[in-house]
DNA sequence: AATCAATAATTGCTTTGACAACTATAGCTC
DNA sequence: GAGCTATAGTTGTCAAAGCAATTATTGATT
């Protein structure tokens, strides 16, 4: 379930490798936590459900932007979640192109049940950092992201 | 060439999304730099060539571990690089299971030509951070990685 | 020496996510 | 209101990368 790269002796120094590994391990940890709770969903799927729960119904495009997801990927993500009954695609009454994605009862229940699984995992992952360091890590990453986006 | 997610208004707060975006933008920046120099290779491929250049010939497995890559992915990466003549797979004289991956003349020349493209891109990407902050960013990511790896 | 487990590389399969092409609708401009 | 452009969602295609299974070889144990 996890990348088979954990037995590397020494820590990667390259920023690219480092980012890839941390992201991949974090995703793995999230998904282990999910399967531990008997939920057969990817972290990204739960993230979408949670986003709908927190912000209420929205269009597929809005949801894609909220998760920084590709539109095509979002269609398929919605397919899977709708198939399993966690949400419904309703027509938007004001715009016949658009959808209004709504959590179903079971989708809402699932999000409530999972509650703060993400916070738990993050807390474990960031356990080696104190509050100040966590704040800084987020800050640094955001600043790097801004720089990268500006430079093209 | 880059994820079509750059037009997101506000910065992602979620650590998972943040890591995905920073990694993806960084890879894009690397690859734009490569195409700008007329090199039709992925960043990971150049990374492998550079690794061979710096450490000398090694087996496919060693290279995979050095890049924190899956063995299967490494086979295919080597296929592509060998096809283009940047390296050779030689039999390891001491172990008939293993390979000895060697840079070709053109592979060596390419690495020399690209010299410090990676440093240039990283310097641009991390432009918003001072030296102390860069050091901290790497340190934090490494500590998070250690924690994540320990917790299973 | 025979056997058995571990390791090296390869291959097939799968998933993820990006991109491009397409259709339908909205909204602006003349 | 005709036409143009932008936007919403869907679909097809593709490459990257992880995993499992396979083959060949090594090294250790009996």
Query: Does residue B5 have a pLDDT over 50?
Result: no
Q: Is A14 on the interface with B (CB under 8 A)?
A: yes
B23 touches chain A (CB under 8 A): yes
In A, which residues are within 8 Å of B18 by CB distance? 138, 141-142, 145
Specify the range with the lowest mean pLDDT, choosing from A9-13, A50-54, A133-137: A9-13
pLDDT in tens, A7-25: 445 666 778 888 888 888 8
Q: What is the pLDDT of residue A111?
A: 93
A30 contacts in chain B (CB < 8 Å) = 16
> What pLDDT score does B152 carry?
64
Interface of B with A in 112-141 (CB under 8 A): 122, 124-129, 133, 136-138, 140-141
CB contact under 8 A, B129 and A143: yes
Q: How confident is the model at residue A79 (pLDDT cuts 50, 70, 90)?
A: very high
Distance (Å) from the alpha carbon of A4 to chain B's nearest alpha carbon: 7
pLDDT of the residue at A32: 87
**B1 has pLDDT over 70:** no
Band (A5; pLDDT cuts 50, 70, 90)? very low
Q: Give the closest of B5, B20, B68 to A8, CB-based.
A: B68
The whole-number average pLDDT for the span A81-93 is: 95
Residue B13 pLDDT greater than 50, yes or no: yes
Asked if A34 and A41 count as a contact pair (C-beta separation under 8 A), the reply is yes
For residue A83, give how far its alpha carbon lies from the nearest alpha carbon of chain B (Å): 25
Q: In whole angstroms, how large is the CA radius of gyration of chain A?
A: 18
Binned at pLDDT 50, 70 and 90, residue A101 comes out as very high
State percent of chain B over pLDDT 70: 91
Whole-number pLDDT of residue B84: 94
Separation CA A98–CA A93 (nearest Å)? 9
Nucleotide nearest to A71 (CA to C1'): D9
The pLDDT mean for chain B works out to 88
What would the DSSP string read from start to end of chain B? ---S-TT-SSPP--HHHHHHHHHHHHHHHHHHHHHHTT----HHHHHHHHHHHHH-SB-HHHHHHHTT--HHHHHHHHHHHHHTTSEEEEE-TT-TT-EEEEE-HHHHHHHHHHTTHHHHHHHHHTTTS-HHHHHHHHHHHHHHHHHHHHT-
Nearest residue in A to B30, CA atom: A16
What the block records as the tokens of A94 is 């004001």
Mean pLDDT of chain A: 88
């Amino acid at each position: 379930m996890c990348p088979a790269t954990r037995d590397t002796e020494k820590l990667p120094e390259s920023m690219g490798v480092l980012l890839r590994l941390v992201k991949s391990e974090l995703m793995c940890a999230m998904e282990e936590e999910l399967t531990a709770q008997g939920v057969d969903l990817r972290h990204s799927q739960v993230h979408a459900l949670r986003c709908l729960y927190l912000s209420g119904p929205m269009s597929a495009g809005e949801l894609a932007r909220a998760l920084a997801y590709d539109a095509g990927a979002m269609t398929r993500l919605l397919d899977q979640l709708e198939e399993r009954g966690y949400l419904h695609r309703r027509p938007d009454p004001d715009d016949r192109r658009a959808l209004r994605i709504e959590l179903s009862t079971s989708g809402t229940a699932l999000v409530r049940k999972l509650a703060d699984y993400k916070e738990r995992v993050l807390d474990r992952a960031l356990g080696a950092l104190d509050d100040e360091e966590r704040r800084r890590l987020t800050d640094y990453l955001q600043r790097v992201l801004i720089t990268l986006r500006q430079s093209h």
